[in-house]
Structure 1
Amino acid sequence: MHKFTAPPLSFVGNKKYFSKIYLEFLDFALLSGVINKQTIFLDCFGGSGWLSHITKQRFPKNRVIWNDYDNYQERLERIPQTNAIRQELLRIKEKNLSKEKTKQEILKVLNANLNYDLRTISGYLTFCGQTLKEDLSNFVPSALEKITKTTIKEPIGYLEGVERVQSDAVNLIETSAGGGGYFLILDPPYLQTHSKSYEGYFNLSDYARLLNAIKKPYCLFGSAKSDILELLSLVEEKEQIKGFCVYGESFTKMNQGIKDRDYLIYNF
Structure 2
Amino acid sequence: METKKKIFTAAPLPFMGQKRKFLKQFKTALKQYPDNAVYVDLFGGSGLLSHTVKSVYPDAKVIYNDFDNFRERLENIDKTNQLIEGLRAILSDYPKDSRIIGRTRDSVIACVKLAHEGGYVDYITLSSSILFSMKYVLSFEALEKETLYNCVRKSNYSGVGYLEGIEVVSKCYKELFGNHKDTVNVVFLVDPPYLSTDAGTYKSYWKLRDYLDVLQVLDGTNYFYFTSNKSSIIELCEWIETKTPMSNPFTGAAVESMNATVNYNSSYTDIMLYKQWTHNIS
Instruction: Please report how far the alpha carbon of residue 8 of structure 1 lies from its aligned counterpart in structure 2 after TM superposition.
Output: 0.6
Which residue in the other structure is 1:6 paired with?
10
- Residues in 2 aligned to 1:49 and 1:72: alpha-carbon distance in whole angstroms: 8
Task: Judging by fraction of residues, say which structure has more helix.
Answer: 1
Query: In structure 2, what residue type is equivalent to 1:245?
Result: A
1:123 aligned to which of 105, 121, 128 = 128
1:79 aligned to which of 58, 77, 80 = 77
Q: How does 1:16-95 map to 2 (within 5 A)?
A: 16-28=20-32, 30=33, 35=34, 37=36, 39-94=37-92
Q: Say if 2:206 is the partner of 1:208.
A: no
Q: Give the percent of matched residue pairs that are identical in Structure 1 and Structure 2.
A: 29
Query: In structure 1, what residue type is equivalent to 2:47?
Result: G
Instruction: Please report how far the alpha carbon of residue 264 of structure 1 lies from its aligned counterpart in structure 2 after TM superposition.
Output: 0.9
- Residues in 1 aligned to 2:152 and 2:183: alpha-carbon distance in whole angstroms: 49
Q: How does 1:211-226 map to 2 (within 5 A)?
A: 211-215=215-219, 216-226=221-231
Which residue in the other structure is 2:279 paired with?
none
SS in 1 for 2:84: helix
1:157 aligned to which of 154, 161, 182 = 161
For each residue in 1:138-188, what CA deviation from the matched residue of structure 2 results, as whole angstroms up to 9, or x when unmatched? Answer: 2323x02x2232221x21111111100001112211232234431100011
Q: 1:105 to 1:242 in 2, by over 3 A?
A: closer
For each residue in 1:53-79, what CA deviation from the matched residue of structure 2 results, as whole angstroms up to 9, or x when unmatched? Answer: 110111111100000011111111111
Which segment drifts farther, 214-223 or 99-108? 99-108
2:137 aligned to which of 118, 132, 143 = 132
Tell me if the contact between 2:90 and 2:107 (Cα under 8 Å) persists in the aligned partners. yes
Query: In structure 2, what residue type is equivalent to 1:138?
Result: K
Instruction: Please report how far the alpha carbon of residue 195 of structure 1 lies from its aligned counterpart in structure 2 after TM superposition.
Output: 1.3
Q: 1:131 to 1:108 in 2, by over 3 A?
A: same
- Residues in 2 aligned to 1:201 and 1:7: alpha-carbon distance in whole angstroms: 23
Instruction: Please report how far the alpha carbon of residue 118 of structure 1 lies from its aligned counterpart in structure 2 after TM superposition.
Output: 0.9
- Residues in 1 aligned to 2:58 and 2:237: alpha-carbon distance in whole angstroms: 32
- Residues in 2 aligned to 1:85 and 1:222: alpha-carbon distance in whole angstroms: 35
Q: TM-score, normalised by structure 2?
A: 0.85
SS in 2 for 1:231: helix
Q: 1:229 to 1:201 in 2, by over 3 A?
A: same
Query: In structure 2, what residue type is equivalent to 1:93?
Result: L
Query: In structure 1, what residue type is equivalent to 2:209?
Result: S
Provide structure 2 residue ranges, at least 5 long, that are not aligned to the other structure.
Answer: 95-99, 277-282
Provide structure 1 residue ranges, at least 5 long, that are not aligned to the other structure.
Answer: none
Query: In structure 2, what residue type is equivalent to 1:201?
Result: Y
- Residues in 1 aligned to 2:249 and 2:200: alpha-carbon distance in whole angstroms: 29
- Residues in 2 aligned to 1:107 and 1:265: alpha-carbon distance in whole angstroms: 44
Instruction: Please report how far the alpha carbon of residue 238 of structure 1 lies from its aligned counterpart in structure 2 after TM superposition.
Output: 4.2
Could you say what the CA RMSD is over the residues aligned between the two structures, in angstroms?
Answer: 2.1
Tell me if the contact between 2:43 and 2:67 (Cα under 8 Å) persists in the aligned partners. yes
Query: In structure 1, what residue type is equivalent to 2:52?
Result: I
Q: Say if 2:183 is the partner of 1:175.
A: no
Which residue in the other structure is 1:186 paired with?
190
Instruction: Please report how far the alpha carbon of residue 240 of structure 1 lies from its aligned counterpart in structure 2 after TM superposition.
Output: 7.1
Instruction: Please report how far the alpha carbon of residue 122 of structure 1 lies from its aligned counterpart in structure 2 after TM superposition.
Output: 1.6
1:259 aligned to which of 241, 251, 267 = 267
Tell me if the contact between 2:240 and 2:247 (Cα under 8 Å) persists in the aligned partners. no
Which residue in the other structure is 2:251 paired with?
243
- Residues in 1 aligned to 2:35 and 2:240: alpha-carbon distance in whole angstroms: 29
Instruction: Please report how far the alpha carbon of residue 95 of structure 1 lies from its aligned counterpart in structure 2 after TM superposition.
Output: 6.1
1:111 aligned to which of 110, 113, 117 = 113
SS in 1 for 2:15: coil
Q: How does 1:90-101 map to 2 (within 5 A)?
A: 90-94=88-92, 99-101=101-103
